[in-house]
Amino acid sequence: MKLPAPPDGIFCANDLMAIGCLEALKELGKSIPEDVAVVGFDNRDIAQFTMPPLTTFHLPMFAMGTMAVELLDDITGGLTSTHDQLKVECPLIERISG
């Protein structure tokens, strides 16, 4: 934040990092989201209760688990897959921080 042109937004790898980011920015006297927008990733329950509430992406754990079980079932049944990646949609949960 000491750069001549500091960022006006920060995307964090997960919500716990984003909460730490919110606190650090507050200590620096920054206003969120007016000075700096903050966005997390995984939509932990606590995200809605931070001050300000944290904008985040929802990581669909149940859907990911379902996909993993189906893939394991296919593999143990003798099926092979040409996919080296599976993608799931992570919807944006818009709250005040972003």
pLDDT of residue 3: 95
Residue type, position 58, single letter:
H
| Average pLDDT score over the chain | 94
Given pLDDT bands bounded at 50, 70 and 90, which one contains residue 82? confident
Inter-residue contact 33 to 5 (CB < 8 Å): no
What is d(CA 32, CA 45) in angstroms, rounded to the nearest whole number?
20
Residues 6+ apart with CB under 8 A from 55: 37, 38, 39, 40, 92, 93, 94, 95, 96, 97, 98
Given pLDDT bands bounded at 50, 70 and 90, which one contains residue 53? very high
SS3 37: strand
For residue 59, pLDDT over 80 is answered with yes
Closest to 59 in 3D by CA, of 35, 87, 85, 83: 87
- Calculate mean pLDDT across residues 62-85: 86
pLDDT of residue 27: 97
Strands (E), the chain: 9-11, 37-42, 55-58, 92-93
Domain residue ranges of the chain, discontinuous segments joined by +: 9-93
Question: pLDDT per residue over 17-50, tens digit each?
Answer: 999 999 999 999 999 999 999 999 999 999 999 9
For residue 84, pLDDT over 90 is answered with no
